[in-house]
């Protein structure tokens, strides 16, 4: 019974205070967006299985919802899809629109290459 209370407390704490100690790719989308549907068909199924998906797991967000607590955007998303690269909940880069699979991967790779080195990481590691 005590273990159940501890687990419950951990879940409540985690949900109440989201931790952004990671890099995420937020996809701002909306129902009926044809470019979102195209991204889902061309990239969505494989994204989590890629190196990019491991570095920046996908986080979906509806454009009509308020910004999630603890997230800071450079500016509100105006178009769907918009892919916002977040580090510790703060926007560091974005792709507005979906320019096709080849361009998406190229732009995302450039964004990930520009990420700051994690604290304590040695160059070339």
Tens-digit pLDDT profile for residues 40-61: 999 999 999 999 999 999 999 9
pLDDT at 103: 96
Is there a domain that residue 2 lies in?
no
Is there a domain that residue 22 lies in?
yes
**What CATH number corresponds to the domain at position 88?**
3.40.30.10
Prediction pTM value: 0.77
Which residues of the chain carry a pLDDT beneath 50? 2-20, 120, 125
| Distance between CA atoms of residues 33 and 68, nearest Å | 21
Q: Which of 29, 92, 15, 17 is nearest to 59 (CA)?
A: 29
Q: Is the separation of the CB atoms in 81 and 36 below 8 Å?
A: yes
pLDDT at 86: 97
Is there a domain that residue 70 lies in?
yes
Is there a domain that residue 119 lies in?
no
Is there a domain that residue 3 lies in?
no
Q: Is the separation of the CB atoms in 20 and 88 below 8 Å?
A: yes
Whose structure tokens read 């918009």?
Answer: 82
| Count of domains for the chain | 1
């Amino acid at each position: 019974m005590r273990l159940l209370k501890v687990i419950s407390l951990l879940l409540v704490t985690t949900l109440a205070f989201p931790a952004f100690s990671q890099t995420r790719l937020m996809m701002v989308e909306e129902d009926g967006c044809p470019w979102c549907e195209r991204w889902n068909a061309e990239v969505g199924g494989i994204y989590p299985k890629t190196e990019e998906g491991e570095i920046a797991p996908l986080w979906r967000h509806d454009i009509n919802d308020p910004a999630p607590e603890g997230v800071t955007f450079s500016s509100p998303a105006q178009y769907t899809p918009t892919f916002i690269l977040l580090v510790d909940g703060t926007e560091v880069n974005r792709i507005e629109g979906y320019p096709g699979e080849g361009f998406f991967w190229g732009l995302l790779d450039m964004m990930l290459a520009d990420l700051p080195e994690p604290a304590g990481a040695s160059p070339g590691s």
